[in-house]
Structure 1
Amino acid sequence: MSVAIVWFRRDLRLRDNPALQAAIEAGHTVLPVYIHAPEEEGAWAPGAASNAWLHRSLQQLDADLRRTGSSLVLRRGDSMAQLQALIAQSGAEAVYWNRKYEPATQPRDAAIKRGLREQGLHVESHNGYLLFEPWELATLQGGPYKVFTPFWRNALSHWRLPALSAAPSVLVSPKVDSLALNDLGLQPQLGWDAGFWAHWQPGESGAQEALEVFIDGALNGYREQRDLPDRVGTSRLSPHLHFGEIAPWHIAHALESQRSAGRDADIDGFLRQLGWREFSWHLLHHFPQTSDANLNPGFDGFAWAPVQPGLLEAWQHGRTGIPIIDAGMRELWATGTMHNRVRMLVGSFLCKHLRMHWREGARWFWDTLVDADLANNSMGWQWVAGTGADAAPYFRVFNPVTQAQKFDPQARYITRWVPELAALPLKSRFAPWLSPTLLAQAAPLYPTQPLVDLAEGRAAALDAYHRRR
């Protein structure tokens, strides 16, 4: 029987895996392979939190494969060279993979496909990551979208979910050399991620469990509760989606099966969030510079403040003196994630009150988020900075105190992540600098003043906005 390499990348699952399914249906003996080549990701090689998750996801994928009689072959180095070596060792006649869409990996994959085909191999790539290919939807003029609502309207008009496919029960693979998982060097040396795993279960089974928990719990009332950081009101599926441990159409199928008069609005609300994920990849494909450069060139002359390392570090580690901001940054450090509403607040504070370039925030999130996704991260930061597609206007400056009072009215989220403020009266937990005596007594080590006066920071941001060249 002929051998086919199935090259796993951002699709670390066995069910609903188009490349794996195609290789099996073609009658091949499957050789499952993962090649660690961060150097080929360009300027955006995966960060520490992503690597920590990847280690556990690969471990789980290998365990799942072993239950079928196979195992995951691990290699490190130049992808083409490693594929060539595997072809020579296994006698493989075909290579299958699911596509990646980053600006650095698309041309690499095209070159590999061309080179292998020139050597006479059968090569196929599939869409295992998105509901729509990034080039599939276009405006009436044939161009890319820059506004979400018409993009999503078009997507819904073409809504066709792929059929579900089961995981193979038996896979017999040829024996070839493999690295040990620890040889990939994915785990943080200092164990910084140790606290993550009380909150997460990487791998396909963890993704399935997260989906079931969401459907039974947070999906009910999702549209109203997704903005409240003091409760589990979101799906917590984003890292599983990022690593391809679950297919987006699998989630959509599961939600569609739950439709009823009382749940339609919540289901549609979550599907819309999947739509934003699709939109972000559409944007990055058509505007690949936006991982580093403003989509809106009107901000190219904007007077961002020079980076002051002390201020940036205080923001990074939750020492700004503004409780909702500090809570979000501490949650990120401790768990590898941050509530979406709070992400907007910490981003607005950095880009507007501190007036630091959105790239500073994007880089920190890239290194510390377990769901760090180049398209979503780039779009999210450009959205909050006002420089991207369908963005919040720059002159919309979130007031973190009033936002905390609105979305965390009992300060439960603040108290969880900034516990030294728990002894303060509720009102004082939102702006403790206004109660200096109480603050000194209850939390003497907490900053006595915010990094910047909120009114002055807002005024400076608006002045810089109006003085744009």
Structure 2
Amino acid sequence: MPASTALVWFRRDLRLADHPALQTALARHERVVPVYIADLGAERDWAPGAASRWWLHHSLSRLGGDLAERGAPLLIRRGDSLQALRALLAETGAEAVYWNRLYEPAIVARDRAIKAALREQGIAAHSHRAALWHEPWNLKTAGGEPYRVFTPFWRKLSAELPPLQVEPAPLHLKGAAVHLHSDTLESLQLLPKLNWDAGFYAQWRPGETGAQHALDRFVRSALGHYRGGRDFPFRPLTTQLSPHLHFGELSPQQVRAALLRRAQGTATLEADAGQVLRELGWREFAHHLLFHFPHTAEAPLQEKFAHLPWRTRADYAADLAAWQRGRTGIPIVDAGMRELWTSGWMHNRVRMIVASFLTKNLLIPWQEGARWFWDTLLDADLANNTLGWQWTAGCGADAAPYFRIFNPLLQAQKFDPDASYIRRWLPELARLPAEAAHAPWLAKAGVLERGGVRLNEHYPEPIAALGASRQRALDAYAAIRAA
């Protein structure tokens, strides 16, 4: 092996196992210098939101500890990525840079420019696939076009999954031969100045070890109950792996390997594992769409929906604030929004309910909801966030039909029948029977009184009548459909 040095540029691949860039660098070079560059401005309008920054801080802390234990501390630098890499190349004498690919439009453009600039100065620059099963440009329809519908996309992807191989984390690393300056993690100022993140610590454990614990918990206790229970927000049967996947503390290959290992030979478990893999397929589909249609982070994929007669901001500002604070008067919606604010996460079924209420019942543009989720979700992922909001608004790929408007009351009665989820997140309704907790505005005065609830004092009346607001949305969407 030549006595050479390489930089390994960590981004949202904050793990050591199943890390192609790190593994390739170790195979080709004697020394590796792990570096993280805080260049959040490169993501332009989609720099990490407040909740994501919290996760990033703690994940970097864990990664730094894991690397230091192996002999190669994580270097942190701030500023322009290309300038930081060039400075480190000069300081270390490194002859190559390795990184794993990201797929957001601004990052794709930035990385292409960096690769070209480094190669022009004689530096070997190599990028690798680590976050997805397939590159977005590799899967095409029979006509050579990008997919716009999930089912044929998943049929193609699931038939061409890569070999099931997961490389373990290296036990030892040989770092730089010289002392190098590193900025401190605290200097990145990722943590909030106000103590609004207290609820995150009780529920989440960022970092590679935390990701493995979360995966092990799911395959041991929830696999086998996932398909039947994942829609019920009061039951702990979802994977809750999305933040770990977004920050690359876990790869989809690692999830796939753990699922198949646990499910092997058991029909129920194999069916459940298949459903989880299909959900990971939706994640791949989201990245496929964003790569091929980069405008969709801001504008609808179906262009006709750009003309949908949304309410004006002056008209909807108060309703948007009520939705953000969990004060709409619709308990299942408010419970979801308060879960989001407290924990940085929201159950997927409830995400669809709150998104439908915002876009259909309140007729507020989906971009407002996408921006709020971006700032408050720990798992805020541009591809997934865009796909989810456009699906619910009916303007994206594989979108819900325009006339599909979630009735939040019926959804609560079906998926939170005992109002357990509502009571957890809306303590002011905790003493009401389930029927009244689902719809306090329909409850008799005596029932509310016995539960200690006075509408508009302890809990608001609905800011929108479900029936009338549904019809308003149908009329607006029908006008677009007709046009």
Q: TM-score if structure 2 supplies the norm length? A: 0.96
1:218: Cα distance to partner? 1.2
RMSD: 1.1
- Tell me if structure 1 keeps the 8 A contact 2:327–2:460: no
Match 1:147 to one of 122, 146, 149: 149
Asked if 1:465 corresponds to 2:469, the answer is no
* Matches for 1:141-290 after TM superposition, within 5 Å: 141-174=143-176, 175-258=179-262, 259=264, 260-290=266-296
1:173: Cα distance to partner? 1.1
- Tell me if structure 2 keeps the 8 A contact 1:436–1:448: no
Match 2:131 to one of 129, 141, 145: 129
1:366: Cα distance to partner? 0.2
In structure 1, what residue type is equivalent to 2:295? Q
Counterpart CA distance in 2 for 1:440 and 1:375 is: 46
What is the match of residue 389 of structure 1? Answer: 397
Q: Give the share of equivalent positions with the same residue, in percent.
A: 55
* Matches for 1:70-469 after TM superposition, within 5 Å: 70-174=72-176, 175-258=179-262, 259=264, 260-307=266-313, 308-435=316-443, 437=445, 438-439=447-448, 442-444=452-454, 445-468=457-480, 469=483
Counterpart CA distance in 1 for 2:145 and 2:434 is: 51
In structure 2, what residue type is equivalent to 1:223? R
1:425: Cα distance to partner? 1.8
1:43: Cα distance to partner? 1.1
- Tell me if structure 1 keeps the 8 A contact 2:6–2:29: no
Counterpart CA distance in 1 for 2:273 and 2:249 is: 21
Counterpart CA distance in 1 for 2:417 and 2:158 is: 36
1:352: Cα distance to partner? 0.2
Counterpart CA distance in 2 for 1:194 and 1:326 is: 20
1:446: Cα distance to partner? 3.3
In structure 2, what residue type is equivalent to 1:461? A
Deviations 1:28-50, CA, capped at 9 Å, x for gaps = 30000000111100211110000
Deviations 1:82-117, CA, capped at 9 Å, x for gaps = 111111111111000000100001011011001001
Counterpart CA distance in 2 for 1:433 and 1:25 is: 66
Counterpart CA distance in 2 for 1:159 and 1:169 is: 28
Q: TM-score if structure 1 supplies the norm length? A: 0.98
Counterpart CA distance in 1 for 2:82 and 2:30 is: 21
Counterpart CA distance in 2 for 1:282 and 1:427 is: 43
In structure 2, what residue type is equivalent to 1:234? T
In structure 2, what residue type is equivalent to 1:466? A
Aligned length in residues? 469
Counterpart CA distance in 2 for 1:461 and 1:440 is: 34
Counterpart CA distance in 2 for 1:104 and 1:162 is: 31
